[in-house]
Structures are given as structure tokens and as C-alpha cells.
Amino acid sequence: MIFCSDSLTNAGIDQVSTYSKMFRFGIDGERQFVILSAGNLATSQATIATIKSDIRKNADVNLLNIGSLEEAADYIGDISREQQEKRTVEGKKFEASFIIGGQIGTAKHETILVYPEGNHITTSKDTTYLQIGESKYGKPILDRILTPELDLDTCAMCALVSMDSTLRSNLSVGPPIEMLIYKTGSLTATNYHRFDEDSEFLRDLKKSWDQLLKDAFLRMPPLTWATNWDKLGHERNGAS
């Protein structure tokens, strides 16, 4: 599984801050969870704080004793809804979304998207990835490239290119970019990478992707259809 997130929050032109949106929980060799957040910062931070508090207090239900990924998603959804209700003002809700992924023991690894309402969906053969937050700019590359047969390194590069496309088109998304690569059955979350704004790798990635896009565009077939289209249009106008 590949997890990728930016770290920029934007509450207005004068209120731009950097906060991690990736959180790791687990016991090496037993269970691992990665949570990504998007939406209202106060709600998402309060939700994560409650998750951490439940672990410290060894609550009856917490991420270190919960039985399945689906139960973990329900647990996060319940906390998120509770935090949203606390912050509801004059009917205005401060919503947050989450993606939780991971593995418990020998159970199947999963990624699940938790909506602000608390309900959730998981991936499938036809839905190979999940997104929250600003998704529209980076979605096309994921739709075109990702398939279940791809190796993890290729999927990781695809996620970074998708993030670069979003960075290019939306100023509310920005570095540091965090990425975690989880290998099924490893039950560790140590393959973590952080790319800061001055990352040479990110600069090279952006430069290479920009050039490759331009090269591909210049290799597109000539607009021979335009002549045919104009001809067809004149014929239709004459017939009418």
C-alpha cells in the first residue's frame, strides 16, 4: 500500500500553516495503521488527539486492541462525528475526512475512506485507490496509470506525480510531502519518506514530468480531423 499526503493548511491568504496529515499507529509484528486526514484542521486534530488518548488510557476500544480494519473505520467515524457536533455553529459543520489503511496480524491488508458522516468505503478491483481533500487535479494520472498489477515503486511514483499535478494547480496544497510504503505482511511502518520544499528529488520530478508532458503533447497526431470537420459542417449547412 502507498500512502501520500501534503502538509499545507489554508484558512485564508494570511493563515497558511504546515501540519502533518499522516499519522502512524501500531505494534511492530502485530498490527499497523496509517491514517491520512483532510478537511477542517480542528476537527481532524481533535480526532487524532482522541485516538492517541484512547491508546494512552488503554480504553476498551482503541487502535491497539480493535479487531479489524472495518471496526477501526467505524471507530474513527464515531470520533469524527462527535468532534464535528462539538464544533457545529448555527448549523455550520466543520467536516473532516480520513483514510485508514493497514493490517492486523495475518488478516488481509485494506485501505478505507471514512466520510464526514462516519460511513466508509474500501478499495476494490475497479477502485484501486482512494482520495480525500483536493483530488481533482491529481486524479487523471491515477486513473490512467494505476492497475492492481503494478509494483509498489511504480505506484509510489504515480502518487508523487499525482501530488505534483495538484501542487501545480492548487496553491492550498504544498510540501512537505509525506509518503509511506507498506509491504503486505511486514507489520512495520518504517518505509517512510518526507520531501521538504527544497527537496532536490521533488524538483527533479517536477522538471522531468513537465518536460515529458510537453514532449508527449508535441507528438500528438496532427489535426487532420479539423479539415474533415469543417467540410462536414459546410455540407450540413448546404443541405439545410
pLDDT in tens, 28-46: 999 999 999 999 999 999 9
Range 195-220 average pLDDT: 93
Q: In this model, does residue 238 exceed pLDDT 60?
A: no
Band the pLDDT of 18: cuts 50, 70, 90.
confident
Q: In this model, does residue 239 exceed pLDDT 60?
A: no
Band the pLDDT of 231: cuts 50, 70, 90.
low
Burial class (CB in 10 A: 0-12, 13-18, 19+), 149: exposed
Q: In this model, does residue 13 exceed pLDDT 80?
A: no
* Residues counted in the chain: 240
Give the residue from 41, 24, 40 showing the smallest Cα distance to 32: 24
Q: In this model, does residue 12 exceed pLDDT 90?
A: no
- Sequence letter at residue 37: S
Band the pLDDT of 126: cuts 50, 70, 90.
confident
Q: What is the pLDDT of residue 76?
A: 98
Ordered by where they begin, the domains of the chain are 2-234 (3.60.20.10)
Range 86-102 average pLDDT: 89
User: What percentage of the chain has pLDDT greater than the value 70?
Assistant: 90
Q: What is the pLDDT of residue 92?
A: 83
Please work out, in degrees rounded to the nearest 5, the angle formed at the alpha carbon of residue 165 by the alpha carbons of 160 and 170: 120
Range 11-22 average pLDDT: 71
pLDDT in tens, 136-163: 899 999 999 999 899 999 999 999 999 9
Q: In this model, does residue 240 exceed pLDDT 50?
A: no
Band the pLDDT of 230: cuts 50, 70, 90.
low
